[in-house]
Chains A and B, each alone.
Chain A
Amino acid sequence: GVDCGADSRMCCRQEFFVDFKEIGWEDWIIHPEGYHMNYCAGLCPLHVASIPGLAASFHTAVLNRIKAASAAAAVGSCCVPTQRRPLSLLYYDRDSNIVKTDIPDMIVDSCGCT
């Protein structure tokens, strides 16, 4: 996958960190200090469609040219997460019990085109 730069236009992963102190949640969330709510953004033109991330290889380049030339039905291709991992939280619930849980698929590690 590719991380977004300042002027990325193609499909990439945009990092976005939520500091629990900034949103006033540090009193009930014991750990971690924040949440990496990364998301996928960018264009998925036809010639990179269905390639997770931007594979840069000779074969891919040829395949891309064929796709671009084929002008197949330009079905929309979307920039979506291709790899995610759990968010482990340690927090106080409403009865001040201490709860630890791993929420599956909460952190996006990489993006690609459908």
Chain B
Amino acid sequence: AAEAAWCPACGVAASAPGTQRDALLALAKQSILAKLRLPARPKVPQPPSRGALLTALRMMRAQRWDTAAAFPGMLRDGRGPLRPEMGLQEYEILSFAESGSSTSHSVRLHFRFSQEVAGTTEILQATLYLFWAAPSRGAQPITVRLLQPDPAGPNMTVASETQLEVQRSGWTTLDIGAAVQSLFGQETPRLTVELEVPEDWESPLPSNHSDSHWPFVVAQAQARTPHRVHRR
């Protein structure tokens, strides 16, 4: 009893050091998983290739410099820099494409978002990064469609469609914030990007598909503001 009184506040009954250490380690795991809203630790991940990761980080940094240069001190939508001390947990998500089905003139890419994050946050910004191969002749017309699972059935619905003309090889970015936001409210937050070219054009993506040119999405999300309980 005397020993237990020694540590009334830490909630871990004063016990043999080994047992106490195990209890604290278990507490640490439980605390981190709870704050990440994960039921258990994720399975062993399949990390992206080093080339793809380095390119994505370089592009994100360049994008951030551009934003900071254009609006010093501001973030994406004109608000001052949010800080975690304000209690709103922010997330930055980097998602690499999974190859989907393809035909002679269209390619599908899938981006998955975890339910834990999608179910409890709102999207502040989401950008799709695509690397185009050099068109074989003149400007190449490309249709970029954002597809989402149709909640009512097995089909996909078109969330948005953008017509582009690719003049030369290089990176392009597309703001997909609205599509990802509407996705975040769904059961399976998975975004499909369909790239379609006219019949006699070849695929707009590099054929060698070198890792460092693999498409990816960068999203910023913020925990939904908890409803305020006013105490009188």
Contact = CB atoms under 8 A, between A and B. Distances in A.
Contacts of A39: 9-10, 12, 24
Contacts of A78: 8-9
A50 B85 CA distance: 24
Contacts, number: 118
Interface in A13-61: 14, 16, 18, 22-23, 25, 27-28, 35, 37, 39-43
Interface in B70-128: 84-96, 112-114, 116-117
Contacts of B93: 93, 97-99
A2 interface: no
Interface stretch (B38-46, B148-156, B195-203): B38-46
Contacts of B139: none
Contacts of A100: 91-92
A27 B44 contact: yes
Contacts of B232: none
Counting chain A CB atoms within 10 Å of each CB, the highest count among B31, B35, B38, B42 belongs to: B42
A101 B89 contact: yes
B114 A35 contact: no
B113 A104 contact: no
A97 B95 contact: yes
Contacts of B28: 18, 23, 35, 37
A103 B32 CA distance: 9
B47 interface: yes
Interface of B: 5-10, 12, 24-25, 27-29, 31-32, 35-36, 38, 41-48, 53, 84-96, 112-114, 116-117
Given A39-B12, A94-B116, A97-B96, 16 more contacts: A25-B41, A35-B32, A41-B6, A87-B32, A89-B32, A92-B47, A93-B117, A94-B42, A95-B95, A99-B92, A100-B92, A101-B91, A102-B89, A103-B84, A103-B89, A104-B84
9 contacts: A23-B29, A28-B42, A80-B9, A91-B36, A95-B95, A95-B112, A96-B47, A101-B92, A103-B36
Q: Which 9 A-B pairs have the closest CB atoms?
A: A92-B45, A102-B84, A86-B84, A95-B112, A93-B114, A98-B94, A96-B45, A18-B28, A79-B9
